[in-house]
A and B are shown apart, each in its own frame.
Chain A
Amino acid sequence: MAHVLMPEPDGRILGRRVEIIAALEAVAGPGNVISDPAETIAYECDALSAYHCPPLAVVLPRSTQEVADVLKTCLRLGVPVVPRGSGTSLAGGALPTADSIVIGVSRLNKVLETDFPNRFIRVQSGMTNLSVSQSVEAEGFFYAPDPSSQLACAIAGNIAMNSGGAHCLKYGVTTNNLMGVTLVTMDGEIVEIGGAHCDPAGYDLLGVICGSEGQFGIVTEAVLRILRKPEGARPILMGFDSNEVAGECVADIIKAGVLPVAMEFMDKPAIIACENFAHAGYPTDVEALLIVEVEGSPAEIAEQLAQIREVAQRHSPKVMRESESAMQSDLIWKGRKAAFGAMGQMADYMCMDGTIPTSQLPFVLKRMQEMSKEYGLGVANVFHAGDGNLHPLILYNANKPGDQEKCEAFGSDILKLCVEVGGCLTGEHGVGIEKRDLMTVQYNEADLEAQMRVKDVFDPAWLLNPAKVFPMAVSHSRRMRNSQGEAA
């Protein structure tokens, strides 16, 4: 491994291991501290599993006050802290270092208040994304952001990474559905930001906390907007002769004033892999497949689908199939949702997450195929076409020496291309360690300085999830300022 470097652990912290664990047990209670290496190993990585390192200890507090006490203790002892939701980050957001304490919110998993007339729910942040929706489902409501890991991922992690999902085009991402948080800062201060009302009296601190990748504090509670479920939803499937034509069709649907709830795009390698895996009935003789879903009452769905068909006809689709039953809808989605699993059957893969202006879609897809040939690695594309958020899956063989490095280099090139055409490095996964060293491709020194100043405010000692988001060299002086020494 070790293409991405983490700082060498601080020997002086490791040397005080016993003292640190005792101090944590004193404030958190022995039952809430895990220090046995046989157990801490369960926390050695997140979903970016190529990188792993067990922490010095793990604390699983049972209340906001306990989180505050633990953070205060870590600050006093000068120990770095890695916050953790459910550990589903694809960017290494929850990757520990050997000298760090992981603070997990998994025991904070209760609903605190449900208010249907005012359309919000207040939850502890360890609840999973899906369980939030499930807890309001009986009344016909849901929580809109739906990352594909929603069965497992925690609200705390969703807030840290500003997670998205397939339905963002209509409903937005986490930040657009978050109304308030209880944030515990490194000095143990418990800060209430936002709440059941709209918009702040002063600065939009909630906006900058969301997506701060666990570097500002630990969110223990959240107020989330809940929405009434639409009456129904129905997808239409369309196949085209080329990526260009499919891209134009996406553009024209948007221009026609229709706002589908989802517009998913698959290129040929992805179509074939998904079809072979899920038998969803996808046409395998087309170059590009679009799945467009609309919502509403049966009449509204019919009205929107008629508009979409009319637009699509202008682009001579080879296939156009409207779902006619819940079973057909499920089948159409089954293929798409199986994409990652299908790829996993064929090879190891890395999932990238850049966003591009949708107008650049045909160019970027073409360029990616060229790069695929140059690197000798396959690439398949399944992505959210309406918002330009790409998820190229680069296929490689983890057992073949040098393949992972080649794959990472290919991935970097794709992300650089995204920035070059006016997009960004990450649309919904976050920077973490994965894209940390590419930040200078998108942002110059002044841009990064402005961001780091905000961390200075929330975490002056740079102990919270340090050595992430910013290139090591860029954050070096800040991380050194208060640490007792770092070998890296």
Chain B
Amino acid sequence: MAGELEIIAPQSEQELSELVAGAMRKQTPLEIIGAGSRKGYGNPVAATSQVSTRAISGITLYEPAALTIVARAGTPLDEIREVLAAEGQHLPFEPADWSQLLANETRPTIGGTVATGISGPRRIQAGAVRDSLIGVRFVDGTGAITKNGGRVMKNVTGYDLVKLMCGSQGTLGILTEMSFKVLPMPRKTATLTLDGLDDKRAMEALSMALGSPFDITGAAHFAQSGDTIIRIEGFADSVAYRCNELTRLLAPFGPAEINDDPTVNQQLWQSVRDCTEFSGKPGAIWRISLKPSDGPKLVAGLRTKMPLEAIYDWGGGLVWLLVAEEGDCGAGAIRSAVAATGGHATLVRASDAMRSTIGVFQPEAAAVAAISSALRSRFDPAGILNPGRMYAPTNAMRKAG
């Protein structure tokens, strides 16, 4: 396994480019990592070397008035958070930190955050990682240093490879630097809680809140406890006003409790973001993306087939499932039920062997898979970048000839 491999950490983009070009000549598969905080996520990679971007680090530009920050891939996410917070700003997509979930002490880098493309609860209001990402530099599978996008938030100059790189997990290129549109941090946060709702009623309540003009920035539901939580952020008077209006609007779902304690709110939404509810519990963890109203029926159907716990985020558009880590971890039932809704299911946590056998990501439709495979063969013709991490490695290898 990768853990035993020597980690090579190039000091610069140029050094990384030379390393990849050499690996391509020698057909040496590389496992690409940032700090390694998401080790255990994605399909295990059969590589002979591990390359880390951790030494290609540092914030290269930050202009608070332009809402723009540029940082090299190895920059710790914590450093970026701190620098932004000092100016009252933040990354809008609420980057997740799965170190607890994946039982890993390492702190995430910004490069890993973008490569995995995982967004937190604010996804529903402020968009995903890719929506904040406005420019990238990367080294492709031939060693070519490439840039796309830039440091301005409105840019339609040429194709948007920024989106393509985001979430491609190092399989199309190794990110070296990225620019983000940042936003002001809300001055005040409050959470409205409804209790005792079943999943279906909870989705109806969240849907009603999200369909209101009151600008919800978080909408989650814990199936076990029946708690349904709605986050309201902004200037103080506005938060108070919207809490009142929402309480009135949601009256058919029972009385609402409002909490605006900063610490409570911070911890609560961090736990939703990182799914900490499941982190201490044994079992396999699935993360399902689907049309919000499809969630309750899907979960109810799966409950008849296996014991499970469920947490809903994104107003129901994201469902976390905790199931027993045995057999196929429920993959057969989960994947076919999710596919019927048009969504997809990712096996976030399971043993290497399980992830290898089951496959972490939902297989794509044939026409889409053909495009993905062709893209990989163009950006990584020798199939050396994280082979197998997202897709079966054979495709890239075979097409490379």
Residues of A near any B CB (own CB < 8 A)? 115-119, 140-141, 161-162, 164, 168, 172-173, 175-176, 189-193, 195-208, 210-212, 228-231, 250-252, 254-259, 296-297, 299-300, 303-304, 307, 355-359, 384, 387-389, 422-431, 435, 439, 442-444, 446-451, 453-458, 469
Contact = CB atoms under 8 A, between A and B. Distances in A.
Nearest to A422: B151
Given A117-B293, A203-B375, A431-B158, 13 more contacts: A168-B153, A191-B371, A196-B342, A201-B344, A201-B361, A205-B164, A231-B213, A297-B238, A357-B66, A357-B68, A387-B152, A389-B154, A427-B156
Given A161-B156, A176-B131, A198-B317, A228 B213 contact: yes
B65 A251 contact: yes
B207 A422 contact: no
A203 B154 contact: no
20 contacts: A117-B207, A118-B292, A168-B153, A175-B163, A198-B128, A198-B317, A199-B123, A202-B368, A204-B164, A207-B130, A210-B163, A228-B211, A257-B187, A296-B238, A300-B238, A300-B241, A303-B235, A388-B152, A446-B145, A451-B161
Interface in B63-98: 63-68, 87-88
A457 B378 contact: yes
Given A435-B157, A454-B159, A208 B164 contact: yes
Given A303-B235, A427-B155, A203 B213 contact: no
B52 to A, nearest CB: 23
A458 B371 contact: yes
B226 interface: no
B379 A450 contact: yes
B159 A208 contact: yes
Interface in B360-381: 361-365, 367-369, 371-372, 374-375, 378-379
Contacts of B365: 191-192
- Closest 5 pairs between A and B when the two form their complex, measured CB to CB: A207-B163, A251-B65, A257-B184, A201-B344, A427-B154
A202 to B, nearest CB: 5
B159 A197 contact: no
A443 B241 contact: no
Contact of B127 (A172, A255, A356, A449): A172
Contacts of B128: 198-199
Contact of B87 (A116, A250, A255, A430): A255
A202 B157 contact: no
B157 A119 contact: no
B171 to A, nearest CB: 8
Nearest to B89: A257
B152 A422 contact: yes
Contacts of A118: 207, 291-293
Given A197-B290, A201-B344, A450-B140, A427 B167 contact: no
Contacts of A192: 365, 367-368
B155 to A, nearest CB: 4
Contacts of A442: 150, 157-158
Contacts of A297: 238, 241, 245
B183 interface: yes
Interface string B132-148: 00000000100011111
Contacts of A307: 235
Interface residues of B, number: 87
B390 interface: yes
A469 B65 contact: no
Contacts of A258: 184
A173 B181 CA distance: 13
Nearest to A358: B66
A168 B181 CA distance: 12
A188 to B, nearest CB: 11
B243 interface: no
A454 B164 contact: yes
Which of B128, B153, B364, B374 has the largest count of A CB atoms less than 10 A from its CB?
A: B153
B211 A439 contact: no
Contacts, number: 264
Nearest to B290: A197
A189 B367 CA distance: 8
B66 to A, nearest CB: 5
Nearest to B152: A355
Interface string B7-29: 00000000000000000000000
A387 to B, nearest CB: 5
B158 A257 contact: no
Given A204-B167, A451-B148, A357 B63 contact: yes
Contact of B379 (A304, A359, A453): A453
B235 A355 contact: no
Contact of B391 (A141, A202, A356): A202
A384 B88 contact: no
B65 A255 contact: yes
B229 interface: no
Nearest to B208: A117
A314 B371 CA distance: 54
B283 interface: no
B396 to A, nearest CB: 13
A304 to B, nearest CB: 7
Given A197-B289, A304-B235, A357 B164 contact: no
Nearest to A195: B342
B131 A447 contact: no
Contacts of A427: 152, 154-156
A299 B241 contact: yes
A447 B147 contact: yes
A191 B367 CA distance: 6
B58 interface: no
A258 B234 CA distance: 9
B158 A469 contact: yes
B237 A172 contact: no
B235 to A, nearest CB: 5
Contacts of B66: 251, 254, 357-359, 388
Contact of B153 (A161, A250, A259, A387): A387
Contacts of B50: none
A352 B352 CA distance: 54
A251 B293 CA distance: 41
Contacts of A425: 157
Contact of A197 (B65, B154, B291): B291
Contacts of B369: 202
